[in-house]
A and B are shown apart, each in its own frame.
Chain A
Amino acid sequence: KQEVTQIPAALSVPEGENLVLNCSFTDSAIYNLQWFRQDPGKGLTSLLLIQSSQREQTSGRLNASLDKSSGRSTLYIAASQPGDSATYLCAVTMNTGFQKLVFGTGTRLLVSP
Chain B
Amino acid sequence: EPEVTQTPSHQVTQMGQEVILRCVPISNHLYFYWYRQILGQKVEFLVSFYNNEISEKSEIFDDQFSVERPDGSNFTLKIRSTKLEDSAMYFCASSQRLQNTGELFFGEGSRLTVL
Contact = CB atoms under 8 A, between A and B. Distances in A.
B108 A99 contact: no
Nearest to B49: A98
Given A42-B109, A44-B91, A105-B42, A99 B101 contact: no
Contact of B45 (A32, A36, A89, A101): A101
Q: How would you classify the secondary structure of chain B's contact residues: helix, strand, loop or mixed?
A: strand
Given A101-B35, A101-B104, A103-B44, A43 B98 contact: no
A29 interface: no
A105 B42 CA distance: 6
Contacts, number: 65
Interface string A91-113: 10100011111111110000000
Nearest to A102: B45
Given A44-B91, A98-B31, A99-B95, A32 B43 contact: no
B102 interface: yes
Contacts of B56: 97-98, 100
Central interface residue in A46, A97, A101, by most chain B CB within 10 Å = A101
A76 interface: no
B111 to A, nearest CB: 8
B102 A99 contact: yes
Given A43-B108, A44-B106, A99 B43 contact: no
Contacts of B98: 98-99
Nearest to B54: A98
Nearest to A104: B42
A93 B108 CA distance: 21
Interface of B: 6, 31, 33, 35, 42-45, 48, 50, 55-56, 58, 91, 93, 95, 98-99, 101-109, 111
